[in-house]
Amino acid sequence: MVPVSTPQQTLNRLTVIVLIQWMGATLGLPLLALFLEHRGGTPHVIGLIVASFFIAGVLTQYFLGHLADKFGRRPILVASLIAYGLASMTYALPFSAVWFTLTRVIQGASAGALEVASMSAVAALFAENERGRAISRILAAQLMGAAIGPVAGVVSSVSNLGWVFFVTGLVSLVAAVVAFHTNVGDVEYDPTPLPPLKWNRPFAGALVAAAAIGLAVGVYETCWSLLMHAHHASTLQIRLSWTMFCIPWVFLSRTGGWIADHLNRRTTALFGLLNGAAFLATYPHIHNNVVMLFLGSAESLGAALSSPSIASMLSQGATSRELSRRQGLYATSTTASLALAAMASGFLFTVNTALPFTLAAVVSALLAVSTIFWWRGVHGRIGVTPHTPPTPPAP
């Protein structure tokens, strides 16, 4: 039996669930490496454990999207929250570091499933001319969780980090109960084979845009703190830099959603991608850490205003039974390019501190410009159809 909840109620619940999951995921990240080191992890083992989270996402996101299209989003959403919660609880067990590789694999796959199910649910429940504002709520919840998590994690220590993760696991299990009683756009089970994916231009361009975004995020994941440290930033400044990036995005998310629903999505998306590439190339040449903090907020303005447009292009023209697979491929494109950039940028940073930022900026800008080709002929304004000349009367 499909649960009953209005689209707005579902959006509110998913916003809270995503906020909690991202806050829990980032809560202990500043201390995770030290926690693993205390459990006997060498730098190579710690690197493997951290990377396993992203590898699991790359390998499972499309497959889980396929299952969501076939059997429904609700089972995938509930199962992912349960799996994430149980995996988080294992941090409180007296395991050696290497065993936490399995924990991170389960967490990575579960986090990917949650993203696929929640974003495709929003696309299924809201019409295309309302989808940008709805998607912006989910994106804002992700960033708010990422902003709150590391700051809230300051109160924890390496010795009690396992129990902090245990509590976040319990919260994830409670969220699974809420998700079970929420309508996420599923219909009654259809035993017929899934229709093939519709490879239209909005979809193809969105995958390219996802790769451009992932490249930038991968460089930041690996090199941002290293760059600020090289510029003699304090630990407080490094923490604040992440928070100051997230806060403008949260406050402007609804504006970005309105833009996606009312203005030209293609133009907005291209602006956002080029804006991100420009800032990425600029940071290594700024040696004032206070200026770096405010530049991060300025970059966030462009990202907040354009990200809902990019995400909305992904589902434009899609049928309900392909939304999760589309979202799975989008997440795979982002995560794969993120993992590639994260792995390569560490080595490039040792060669020259500016090299990973500059190289990723160039490639990201080229991918951004290529969307002009992918989205050619696509009408970025929802509800605006191309003008067709009247058909002449029959003789």
Domain parsing of the chain, residue ranges: 1-186, 198-380
Backbone phi, psi, residue 394, to 5°: -70, 145
pLDDT at 250 over 70: yes
So what's the pLDDT on residue 236?
Answer: 74
Number of C-beta neighbours around residue 239 at 10 A: 17
Q: Which two tokens stand for residue 8?
A: 């707005």
Q: In degrees rounded to 5, what are phi and psi of residue 341?
A: -65, -40
Question: If you average pLDDT over every residue of the chain, what do you get?
Answer: 86
- Domain 1-186 is in which class? mainly alpha
The 10 Å Cβ neighbour count of residue 285 is 10
Q: Which CATH class is domain 198-380?
A: mainly alpha
| Topology match between the domains 1-186 and 198-380 | yes
pLDDT beyond 70 at 242: yes
The one-letter amino acid at 120: S
**Closest residue by Cα to residue 124 from 343, 116, 367, 353:** 116
Q: Which residues contact 304 (CB under 8 A, 6 or more apart)?
A: 248, 249, 250, 251, 252, 253, 255, 256
What percent of the chain is predicted at pLDDT more than 90? 44
Between 292 and 159, the higher pLDDT residue: 292
- Three-class SS of residue 34? helix
C-alpha torsion angle, residues 171, 175, 176, 180 (rounded to 10): 160
Classified as helix, coil or strand, 314 is: helix
pLDDT, tens digit, 9 for 90 and up, residues 6-55: 899 999 999 999 998 888 777 766 667 777 888 887 767 777 777 788 88
What is residue 276's predicted lDDT score, i.e. its pLDDT? 94
Give whole-number Cα distances, 55 to 21, 107, 335, 354, in Å.
19, 11, 8, 26
Q: Give the whole-angstrom CA distance, residue 267 versus residue 272.
A: 9
pLDDT at position 29: 65
Span 289-329, pLDDT tens digits: 889 889 989 999 999 999 999 999 998 888 888 999 999 99
Residues in Cβ contact with 341 at an 8 Å cutoff, skipping those fewer than 6 apart: 214, 215, 216, 217, 218, 219, 222, 356, 360
DSSP E strand boundaries for the chain: none
Q: Which tokens go with 216?
A: 């930038």
Which residues, 6+ apart, have CB-to-CB distance to 271 below 8 Å?
302, 306
Which among 149, 136, 148 has a CA at the least distance from the CA of 272?
136
- CA angle centred on 30, ends 29 and 35, rounded to 5°: 80
Average pLDDT over residues 61-74: 92
Residue 277 in contact with residue 212, Cβ under 8 Å?
yes
What pTM, to 2 d.p., does this model score? 0.84
Q: Which of 18, 52, 119 is nearest to 329 (CA)?
A: 119
